[in-house]
Structure 1
């Protein structure tokens, strides 16, 4: 293997590992944890074929969790309120210097998380609605 091939493998390992660890942290913190775990696994599987066997089970569970988030009125309301809280927290962290880690770098990350949450809710809602219109369960 040449130097560039080693460098590419190390880069994939670092980026995939960071995304995977961030997703694992977001499994217990607010955020799209399973989706980031899936993204990390997909990145790692490009260079490390042994990781591929974990992709399908995580993909199935991530899609199932996304669909479950829009099938209940309570879950959907909770997700919408969480998105609003992320937007509010992002603005607060951007404007209030007394908050820990204050600034627009933290605030914009929170706001971006809110947009990601709403994008995922929209995707999940359309997927579930289309499956119901076709008279079938959503595909996993």
Structure 2
């Protein structure tokens, strides 16, 4: 029984750390970095309660950034074009062998980032729209 608990804790630490590090990388690369940092912190905070103090400030900044992305026509258009560019780049990296780090491992990461971006835009838009009607 103890082995299972330790194994689960180890898996959660590895997964949380990987999500957190991916989010940190995506802060400077295209993708939803701040939201992945938040997700990584939430996973790690389950195992390390002292991390709870960092969750709320990151959550506030992540939600604000998500809402800011849909507050004006220009920002929304820019976000949509970025998502389309991520999808196109993902297909290009998956198909064109001459590109650096070409292959579907890179391409699928870019495509996933584009899909996540569109999901977050939809969520942000719904959130802002419902806040304006209340």
Shorter-normalised TM range: over 0.9
Kindly state the Cα deviation for residue 60 of structure 1 after the two structures are TM-superposed: 1.0
Kindly state the Cα deviation for residue 104 of structure 1 after the two structures are TM-superposed: 1.7
**Structure possessing the higher relative contact order (Cα contacts under 8 Å, 6 or more residues apart):** 2
Find out whether 1:101 has 2:63 as its counterpart. no
TM-score (norm 2): 0.94
Kindly state the Cα deviation for residue 109 of structure 1 after the two structures are TM-superposed: 1.6
Match in the other structure for 2:51 = 51
> Which structure's residues are more often helix, by fraction?
2
Give the Cα separation in 2 of the matches to 1:26 and 1:3.
Answer: 34
Give the Cα separation in 2 of the matches to 1:24 and 1:104.
Answer: 22
Match in the other structure for 1:122 = 122
Deviation beyond 6 Å, 4+ runs, structure 1: none
Match in the other structure for 2:74 = 74
Match in the other structure for 1:137 = none
Match in the other structure for 1:61 = 61
Kindly state the Cα deviation for residue 74 of structure 1 after the two structures are TM-superposed: 1.6
Count of residue correspondences = 134
Moved more, 21-30 or 103-112: 103-112
Give the Cα separation in 2 of the matches to 1:127 and 1:7.
Answer: 38
1:85-129: per-residue Cα shift (whole Å, max 9, x none)?
A: 111101111110111111122212211111110110011011101
Provide the secondary structure at the position in 1 that maps to 2:12: helix
TM-score (norm 1): 0.90
Mark the runs of 5 or more structure 2 residues left unpaired by the alignment.
none
